[in-house]
Chain A
Amino acid sequence: MSVEQLIPIFASTVAAATPLAYAAFGELVTERSGVLNLGVEGMMLVGAVAGFAVAFHTGSLGLGFAAGMFSGVALALIFAVLTLSLQTNQVATGLALTLFGVGLSAFAGRDYVGVTLGGLQPLTIPLLSDIPFFGPLLFHFDILVYGSIVALFALQWFFGRSRWGLVLRAVGESPASAHAIGYSVIGIRYMAVLFGGAMSGLAGAYLSLAITPLWVEGMTAGRGWIALALVVFGTWKPMRVLLGAYLFGGVTILQFYGQGMGIHIASQLLSMLPYLVTIFVLVLISRNPKTILLNQPMSLGQSYYPHS
């Protein structure tokens, strides 16, 4: 295989990794506030169908992505009202959100099955994109790929340097203490959950508007769950989450290039890889319970409602 052949492999790895990164970043912020939202898969699906439908009718990809984010926020809002204001069990509600999202997206997307539209195109950056080899390798991506890198640095700044990042971490560690010194735990968690919804919706829209670009029922194929696993795998740290996303991107595209690379295994068996790798890395990371205990937000998954 020549070096040039690596370029498309690298490009599709990055493309496959980008929605995972967005969804995992969103869930990372949600979880850091102490809320476990298992509805990522559902929010991604609804984001995917909403983004596709709006882009199809308006012809604007930008509006499509906005619609994807907006619908993710709308679903996250249902989750937030239930778990934060009404204190329902986060696990059960998250599962409900996914099941609902699966049903809603299939229902809303029935008219768009088999429809195509022009997907998100790579940006051409003057000069940089023209550099031989490195140009196509590094500077021939669409805007959301660059956006995910920007998001990484923004998150690192947010958690490491900003006051609100500190507040978010505090709420995730001990909501009772945060309440006692005067922070609105519920309000902050609402923000974190809605941000998670926006990112999941965006990730879903990226699938239907940039990668395929098509709407297919259940097209996320477990990517929302893999994003959840990535947050654990990345021990709640943005940089590791992004690296994890690239690792999974690579595994995901292996099935498409496997045959070409002379791996003669049935496609179904190759398609199992992302799921098996997910299990494998989860085992790897949780093998030592202290790794999780030390990194996981201490109040993760527990309802909190201030007495007043």
Chain B
Amino acid sequence: MLRLERRAHPSTLMMFASPLIAAVCMLITGYLLFILLGKDPLHAFWIFFIKPLTTAYGIGEWLLKATPLILCGLGLSIGFRASVWNIGAEGQLTMGAIAAGGVALYFHGVEATWVLPLMVCAGVAGGMAWAAIPAFLRTRFHTNEILVSLMLVYVAQLFLGYLVQGPWRDPDGFNFPQTKMFTDAEMLPLLVDGLRTNLAFVIALLLVAVSWFFSHKMFAGFRMQVSGLAPAAARYAGFSEKLNVWLALLIGGGMAGFAGMAEVAGPIGQLQPTISPGYGFAAIIVAFVGRLHPLGVLLASLLMSLLYLGGETAQMNLGLPSAVTGLFQGLLLFYLLAADIFITFRLKSHSRPMEQVRPVDALLPEELI
């Protein structure tokens, strides 16, 4: 009989291997799924994972879609490390887009260089403000931030719907629920002509480095990590719990808000009822698959972005439903959580060999004895 047994030390190998194992398991499931749907699995794989990256345009799209995932994923992973469960990045992204869009509409036609930076500030501030609600309610009234941040996603989306169908609707837009198109001065500059990848991707890469510096080099980042790993130890050390919650939510909200700004001032170019295919939720998966580490988040974002892109290509070329993307994303996280077990545990058969035994002096958890 097999059973789980705690390892004497967490396995570093598994820490790196488990995202890969999860990705492989996801691919195997995908293989079976494609067979089930009556597609040639290898061809489908090619369409899904390779074809999108065979053109420069495709690579541009890949990085473009990775950008909001990197931004939201970085912010969430800083929060999750601190055990602050902000799952409302989608709402914060929406509010960031609304705030940035509001600035763009207010200064519509003002062809000045300061408009775009102002939009960035507004986007960050919008996301932060939305995240400040759960932060305030948690620190002041002990209200669970999971539920509040999630409820605010629906509120933000309805608010966006209200704006684009009501006060902010483009009067010349044939009654479509959308705002005016932003002017060039209100759009993020493109990196390469002909591709839609814009400056936000570069900023996202910079923020990967900044996040790493914050989490691994700064005492403030260490403080948040301790708060997440052992709240009692954080209290004992005198780290403020309120500060922890505020920082975690504001950082997450700010990054998500910027992601929203980058969407509307990038590929979309206006406000619409829907501005994100669930980037804020997918970023939760990104954060976990990326091991809550900035570099991991970058890699996980690229993988998740490929899933979005592959889903679209597969829909066009194979007639597969685009919902396959969501399915793959969910599966990926499940497999990761399962594979993660083997970081701290290993499978053992019930008959035990005698190696690995250390003298009593170095024993493990004392409650065992």
A residues contacting B by CB (< 8 A) are 38, 78, 82, 85-89, 91-93, 95-96, 99-104, 106-107, 110, 217, 221-222, 225, 228-229, 232, 266, 268-269, 271-272, 275-276, 278-279, 282-283, 286-287, 289, 292, 305, 307
Contacts and interface: CB of A to CB of B under 8 A. Distances in A.
Interface in B139-196: 141-144, 146-148, 150-152, 154-155, 158-159, 161-162, 165-166
> Chain B binding site: helix, strand, loop or mixed by DSSP?
helix
A103 B325 contact: yes
A272 B158 contact: yes
Q: By DSSP majority rule, is chain A's interface helix, strand, loop, or mixed?
A: helix
A225 B321 contact: no
Contacts of A104: 326-327, 330
Contacts of B337: 82, 86, 88-89, 92-93, 96
A275 B91 CA distance: 13
Contacts of A102: 281, 326, 330
Interface residues of B, number: 47
Nearest to A226: B151
Interface of B: 4, 85, 87, 133, 137, 141-144, 146-148, 150-152, 154-155, 158-159, 161-162, 165-166, 281-282, 284-285, 288, 321, 323-331, 333-334, 337-338, 340-341, 345, 367-368
The 4 closest A-B pairs by CB, nearest first: A103-B326, A100-B330, A106-B323, A268-B162
Given A104-B330, A107-B321, 5 more contacts: A96-B330, A110-B323, A272-B155, A278-B147, A292-B142
Contacts of B326: 99, 102-104, 106-107
25 contacts: A82-B334, A91-B85, A92-B288, A96-B330, A100-B327, A100-B331, A103-B330, A221-B154, A222-B154, A229-B147, A266-B166, A268-B159, A268-B161, A269-B159, A272-B154, A272-B155, A272-B159, A276-B155, A279-B143, A282-B144, A282-B148, A286-B141, A286-B144, A307-B367, A307-B368
A222 B151 contact: yes
Contacts of A307: 367-368
Contacts, number: 134
B51 to A, nearest CB: 21
A272 B153 CA distance: 10
B4 A86 contact: yes
A78 to B, nearest CB: 7
A293 to B, nearest CB: 10
B329 A225 contact: no
Nearest to A100: B330
Contact of B144 (A78, A88, A232): A232
A222 B90 CA distance: 14
A101 B329 CA distance: 11
Nearest to A287: B141
B316 to A, nearest CB: 16
Contact of B334 (A96, A271, A272): A96
Contact of B162 (A221, A269, A289): A269
Contacts of B334: 78, 82, 96, 100
